[in-house]
Structures are given as structure tokens and as C-alpha cells.
Structure 1
Amino acid sequence: MEFANKEYFILILLLIPYIVWYLLYRKKSVPSMRVSTTEAYRYGYSTWRTRLVHVPMVLHYICYTLLVCVLARPQTHNTWDTKSVEGIDIMLAMDVSTSMLAEDLKPNRMEAAKNVAAEFIAGRPNDNIGLTIFAGESFTQCPMTTDHTSLLYMLQSVRTDIAARGIISDGTAIGMGLANSVSRLKSSKAKSKVVILLTDGSNNMGDISPMTSAEIAKSMGIRVYTIAVGTNKVAPYPVPVAGGIQYVNMPVEIDTKTLEDIAQTTGGSSYRATNNKELSKIYKDIDTLEKTKMDVKRFSKRYEAYQPFLLLAVLMLLVEIVLRNTVLRKIP
């Protein structure tokens, strides 16, 4: 809360001489009478009325102070300022093929990738970030948005067995996943446009090759950072069997050469993550990307807030009048 006319608060200083006058000269204005002796009042006691004798004057002071506050025009307001924040436009392209169920990363590649991506999103509140998922085909899970709460919800809703259950065709369509992400960034006016492509395999599906998508990204000024997820040899893969799950060692086949070429073509970087710690470090490295300034215009609207002060002042005045004319009434 703010006061539009703060200079009126100087009027409160007038209470000082008023209080001094009340304390020094009050007794002169109190009616008195002469008696031959005060012995009869020697053992007298104070009543609750005598203890409240100063209450009307205190209420009077409070009423005066509240009226000064009303003159000072208290105001509340919604404040929005014009400021510049920094951010970039980012699309996360995430592989959700069945091979992402391998457990060389804990609890598995898919969950590890989701957890680290969630931390990355939470650390960039000023960015437009979207999510594309791909296996044998690709689609946009969440378009670019600054509503990161909704984005994180959409990210966590990606099931690790989405391809295994047939919701999306299995396989690894890296070119389609990258092309889908690029299409979401084509109309972006940001200075920096980035795709973070995460996969654990080699392109074996889709109508667009990875390098074709990379050339399209390059023509649009989009940098691609590629992340290859998985150990160097074999990884434990869960296979459902009667009565439980059996683990088999699945060979890790990642086309790191193509991922490096994609990154080099678009001016990005290529990474390899063989464990959770390395994956987390990769996202922290990408977090140091160049940022672009965006102007955010904010507006302000003020509201007068004198009403509570005025109502309270009227209430204090009414209570004072009632007390002076009833229980604290003086005669004469």
C-alpha cells in the first residue's frame, strides 16, 4: 500500500501539543466541590468508570489519526513494469522407443532423461520451451510455451512404455523427430533457436533422413545439440515373462557419427552420456547457451483504499460519543 499525499502526515504532529494540553490543563476543567474533610474518601477505591476516564480522549486521537490517513490517500495497485529478461526458444526432442527402457541409467534411460530435462526446464523460467517425442514416428507432446508448469506435466505424462504398448510405432526416426522440432521453431523471432535431441539408437524409421533435417535446421539458423544415451557395450533390458521380468543384455548401437554430424552442421555440440551424472552435466553445459533479450511490458493500475480508514474513523467517533453520553458521562 502507498499514500499519494504523504505530506498530510505532518498533521499528526498537531497531536503533540493537544496531548500536552490535555495532560496539563485537564484538571482545571474538571468540576470540583469543597468539603470540610477528605477523611471519608481515604479508603475509597477506584471503579471501572474511573479507569476508563481517558478512553474517549484516546478514541479522539485515533479518529484524528485515521482522518489524516484518509487525507493522505492510501492506494493499492497492481504493479507491472517494462523490463528486459533474457531467454531463448528451445525444443526438446526425446527418443521414447522401447530401447529407452534399458536400465544402464537409473531407473532407466527414459526416466533418467525425463528427470534431468525437468531440472533443465525449471532452471530456465524465461525461455519458450517445447517438447517433441519420437520413436518410429514423431509428434509434438507440448508446443513452445513459457507455462512451464503445463510443460512439466506433459513431460512427466510421457510413459516409458509408450512404444511397447503400441501407442506410437516403435523404432528410431531421428530425422522425423528433428524435423518436427524444427517446424516448431521456423516462425520463431528469437535470436537463438535451439533443439536438444536425445536418443539411444540409430535412425531406422521415417521419411526424412537426419542429415536432411539438419540442413533444414541450418538454413533456419537453428542449432542442434545431440545427446547419445547409453553405455558403450551392452545394457540390461527388462523382458516380461510369465510371473515376472527377466533381464537380458541388449547391445548398445548408437550412431554417434550421425549425431556428431548433425551438431557440427548446425553449429551445435554432440555429447555422450553413459550414466546419470554425465547426463545431468550435459544439460548444465547446454544451460550456458547464448541468451537473447525479450522486452516484457507491464502495466500498473491504482485503486483508492481510503474506505477502511474512513469507516474506522467514523466508528471511533461514534464510540467516543456514546461513551461520553452514557457510562462516562460527567455531571455537570
Structure 2
Amino acid sequence: MSFHPSSAWFLLFLPLAALAWWNWFRPARRSAIRFSSIARCDGIAPSIWNRLRPLVPTLRMLALALVIIAIARPVKSNESTKTFVEGVAIEMVLDRSGSMRAHDFKVGGKDVERLTALKVVAEDFVSGGDGLRGRKNDLLGVVTFAAFADAVVPLTLDHDVVIDSLRQLRTAEQNEDGTAIGDALALGVEKLKDAADRANADGEMRIRSKVLLLLTDGENNAGEIEPTDAAQLALACGVKIYAIGMGTKGLAPFPMETPFGTQFVQQPVNIDEELLTKLSTDTGGQYFRATDTDSLVKIYETIDQLEKSNVEEQKLVRYRDFAVEPFTLAGFSVPPFLALALILLCVELFLSHTRLRVLP
């Protein structure tokens, strides 16, 4: 138990209660009746009511002290912190077409296919690492595409699910190969809009911005929706597109199965950078070109800085005011201080006007 800072100074008046009690008992001139002798009274023992005479001023003093304590507001405070999050909803739209098997990226000093490098960097982007701070306060989702677009993970704060899905990504088989950029963008925009509407309606978090992170290494050659039409849909829904063209410039080694095993054949890298630039700039985003793993990491770092979530903490302090609320003392429920003071005053008034009445 403590006292409210704004009224604790009332405790300075507590000595007044003790002063009032002392004033009642201090010697004073009193009225008297003349008797020739009081010798016969010396042998009379004082009654129980005589002995209880100090009870009246004591009750009065205690009541006054309790009133002063009540005015000083004895309280018990419970402090809690409420966090308000303005997060970013990020849909990662990732190309898994056959061209993502090109081995023009390195991870740990070893040549790896583009999709492997993408998974490593994307995982760091989600959970933090290698200069990336992580996106713990953001809704993240995954859409993959080759000839068809698939919503792999709905936008969620459960980032372990996102990481698991990234680790399980594989390049498309030959019968589903292709690059449906427009369909993937439209699907990503739809998921972003729905998730943002739900989050804002629930009130659990506020969506600060909606971002579609498109990563591809080719040209749109499949699907039903034109990428530019999907970009207009994104603009109408307030979604920014950050596009990354992934692949070295010139020729890149592609694996080919031969009777002699896997061999690498140099093939040209064709990325429609003009289209990707238009998709980004039309929606307020940016286009980046990643030619190796280091540049891919730096691109993710840039996006990390451009799209930040905002976290605010508000401290809430709730007070239980024991002046008007009961409290527990030594395992027993005790009435509020004002109620105790009223009870003592009632007892004092009753006694002072009945058996403990003092004649003038």
C-alpha cells in the first residue's frame, strides 16, 4: 500500500489527531461541588464505565486519523504496459521458375542456384541476421509463381511458418515452368488487401503500409493478367511494389542433365528490367538489380530501412483507492478507511451521549 503522490502531503496533519487526544487529557480547571468531606468516597472502587472514560477521546482521535489517511488516498497501483504496433504487411512474391536453377550466386563461398541464395537472404530478412534486423512486428506472407501463382503462406505474425515455407521452396518442374508475373502480383495484392482489412477491423495492430516484394529472374510469359494491369490494381489498393531482378549480367551457368551427368551450360540472362522498373515506380516503390548474393543482401537492407514498423508503448497505471474500497490485512477483509472512521464516530457519539456522558 502506498499513497497517491498528489495527496500524500495530507499525512502531515496526522499529529493533529494526537494533539486533540492530548488536549482532552491535559489538566484543566473544572467545575466542582463543595462537600464537607469526601473521606467516605475514598473507599469506593471506580466502576467499569469510569475506567472506560478515555475510550471516547481515543475513538475520536482514531476517527480523525482515519479521515486524514483517507484524504491522503491510500492506494495500491497496478502498472501495465500496452503496446501499439503499426506494422507493415509484406507479401513476398517469389519466382520459382526453372531459370532459378542458374548457379550464378554464392553462399558460404560455394556456387549455389539462385533459389537457394534467395531462401537464405529471405530468411534473414524475416528473422534477422547478416545485417538485417528482422520483421517481428510485421505481417508476412509468401506467394510463389512459375506458370501459375500459389499463395503458400497467408499473411501472418507467425514467422516460423514463413521460414519453414521458405526452406521448402523448390524450382518448378518442366510441366509447370513459366513466369506468370501478372497473376502473381494480382494474387499478392488480393492477399494484402484482405489481411490489412482484417487486421484493422480486429484492432490488434494497425497496418502502416502494404508492400509487395517481387523477386524474379525473367520475363512475363505465362498467366492471364498483364503485369501492368496488376500494378494498377496495386496502386488502387495502396500497395507499393518493390521489384528485384535476380541474376548476373551476360551469361549464367545453367545445369543440364546429360548421359555423362550434370553439366553446366552458359545461357544468356534475360530480365525485363523496363517492365519491373515501371511496376515499381507506378506504385511508389523501387526497382533493384541483384547480380550476386552481396547485392541481394544490400537490397533487402535498403527495403528494411524504407519500410519500418512503428512500435509505441503506453504505460497504464490503475489505482485501488482504499479510502472507499475494502482491502485485505493479515488475511482478513477490512472496510474502507472512510467506513472505519464513520463506524468509530458512531460508537464515540453513542458512548459520549449514554454511559460515558460527561456532565459540564
TM-score over 0.5 for the pair: yes
AA of the residue aligned to 1:134: F
Once the two structures are superposed, the pairs formed by residues 118-137 of structure 1 within 5 Å of their partners are 118-122=123-127, 123-137=134-148
Paired residue for 1:199, among 213, 216, 227? 216
Paired residue for 1:185, among 179, 192, 198? 192
Change (3 A) 1:80 1:227: farther
Question: Deviation of residue 290 (structure 1)?
Answer: 3.7
Alignment pair present for 1:257 and 2:264 = no
Change (3 A) 1:243 1:81: farther
Q: Percent sequence identity over matched residues?
A: 40
Alignment pair present for 1:234 and 2:234 = no
Question: Deviation of residue 223 (structure 1)?
Answer: 0.2
**Do the aligned partners of 1:130 and 1:142 also contact (CA within 8 Å) in 2?**
yes
Q: 1:94 matched to which residue of 2? A: 94
Q: CA separation in 1, counterparts of 2:97 and 2:227?
A: 16
Question: Deviation of residue 81 (structure 1)?
Answer: 3.1
AA of the residue aligned to 1:89: A
Q: CA separation in 1, counterparts of 2:149 and 2:314?
A: 36
Q: 1:247 matched to which residue of 2? A: 264
Once the two structures are superposed, the pairs formed by residues 181-330 of structure 1 within 5 Å of their partners are 181-187=188-194, 188=196, 189=200, 190-293=207-310
Tell me the SS of whatever aligns to 1:114.
helix
**Do the aligned partners of 2:86 and 2:208 also contact (CA within 8 Å) in 1?**
no
Tell me the SS of whatever aligns to 1:191.
strand
Q: CA separation in 2, counterparts of 1:298 and 1:213?
A: 43
Q: 1:157 matched to which residue of 2? A: 168
Alignment pair present for 1:176 and 2:164 = no
AA of the residue aligned to 1:287: D
**Do the aligned partners of 1:86 and 1:294 also contact (CA within 8 Å) in 2?**
yes
TM-score, length of structure 2 as denominator length: 0.58
AA of the residue aligned to 1:126: N
Paired residue for 2:155, among 138, 144, 156? 144
**Do the aligned partners of 1:86 and 1:291 also contact (CA within 8 Å) in 2?**
no
Q: 1:13 matched to which residue of 2? A: none
TM-score, length of structure 1 as denominator length: 0.63
Q: CA separation in 2, counterparts of 1:264 and 1:281?
A: 20
Which runs of 5 or more residues in structure 2 are unaligned? 3-77, 107-111, 128-133, 201-206, 317-329, 331-360
**Do the aligned partners of 1:238 and 1:246 also contact (CA within 8 Å) in 2?**
yes
**Do the aligned partners of 1:134 and 1:172 also contact (CA within 8 Å) in 2?**
yes
After superposition, the C-alpha distances for 1:156-206 in whole angstroms (9 at most, x for unaligned) are 1112x3x1264xx11001111111110101131423000000000000000
Tell me the SS of whatever aligns to 1:88.
strand
Q: CA separation in 2, counterparts of 1:297 and 1:155?
A: 35
AA of the residue aligned to 2:189: V
RMSD: 2.9
- Tell me which structure has the larger Cα radius of gyration: 2
Tell me the SS of whatever aligns to 2:142.
strand
Change (3 A) 1:241 1:296: farther
Question: Deviation of residue 152 (structure 1)?
Answer: 0.3
Paired residue for 1:111, among 103, 109, 116? 116
**Do the aligned partners of 1:192 and 1:291 also contact (CA within 8 Å) in 2?**
no
AA of the residue aligned to 1:264: T
Question: Deviation of residue 272 (structure 1)?
Answer: 0.3
Tell me the SS of whatever aligns to 2:105.
coil
Q: CA separation in 1, counterparts of 2:141 and 2:265?
A: 34
